[in-house]
Structure 1
């Protein structure tokens, strides 16, 4: 099996004032929260968005593991729709120290390059900052952070920086080049 060099960048915002919202791409694009946790829908989004960019860490999870992850207080999934069709999503997970991690973000392949990603990320960041208004048991958000890597889409890092994220850590490692099934199996 071949190996590849993977670089992972961690980025953060420490104030809601850091957010630089993207232009709204058009009235046909809507973004709403998936208020009812659905392992099937979340797995569809995960496999469909990440299938061609090597997202594999959740593919082996059981339905029960998906239920546990999605059912934790403050875990939210926000979905972009193009005239009713899912176009992409952002999922975040709050931590106990007032940090909210954007754990997954991306668009299905057919929706990339249409300026939807900047808008979806802007909405996701804003909702991460006001998370405690929907989850009173959670601490107020003090920091929003994420990581991206050299296997993510070619515009990911630029989008994060344009929205106001700042780099705080870089890590490089060698890892096995694991083929991904693409968006179809399990989608």
Structure 2
């Protein structure tokens, strides 16, 4: 275990990069599949999926319920106008998994780039994780993504997300193909997320 980053140049040679206390960093993994995996099995009842459309209040509430523990900030800091432009695009499909009148899962597919589909957001509220709902929701995501001819279905996740995310995507048929380091202003300091959000400690403020 190394000490906190300093200005010592030897740390940079060893691969350590100092991060300002006002920022957070994560390793991003990109994954893709070029054809749906074969999963023979019994037919299941259709999932209770409900289009969210441009209902911003509903989308924001579900996004926060799923993503706040994992520092999801991409949509949290968006203006209503910017978010409406995305969710109102006919090439973007945002769906809520509903149970007993409550939204418990989010599936968002982005088809805005011809020939491919991005799994833009995918997740369950904390109490639904580990129940098997995620597998069924992913199966539906794959089915919808490949309902028309495409070259690839892709997703990215990071080390701030659920620790089982990469393994889950790989079991679902995705293949990792690239990594990157993302450094961004800490969304808890910008006001996009509550200060108690996430699994990493605040270093400033």
TM-score > 0.5 by shorter chain: yes
- 1:148 Cα deviation from its structure 2 partner: 0.6
- In 2 relative to 1, CA 151–23 (structure 1 residues): closer, same or farther, beyond 3 Å? farther
Q: Counterpart of 1:152?
A: 161
TM-score by length of 2: 0.73
Structure 1 segments unaligned to the other structure (5+ residues): 133-139
**Equivalent pair of 2:51/2:94 in contact (CA under 8 Å):** yes
**Equivalent pair of 1:99/1:143 in contact (CA under 8 Å):** yes
Q: What is the root-mean-square deviation of aligned Cα atoms in Å? A: 2.8
**Equivalent pair of 1:22/1:122 in contact (CA under 8 Å):** no
The DSSP-based 3-state class of the residue aligned with 1:45 is: helix
The DSSP-based 3-state class of the residue aligned with 2:137 is: helix
Q: Counterpart of 2:127?
A: 110
How many residue pairs end up in the alignment?
172
- 1:33 Cα deviation from its structure 2 partner: 3.9
- In 2 relative to 1, CA 124–4 (structure 1 residues): closer, same or farther, beyond 3 Å? same
The DSSP-based 3-state class of the residue aligned with 1:10 is: strand
Decide which moves more: 98-107 or 79-88.
79-88
Distance 1:178 1:74 in 2: 28
Higher relative contact order (CA closer than 8 Å, sequence separation 6+):
1
TM-score by length of 1: 0.79
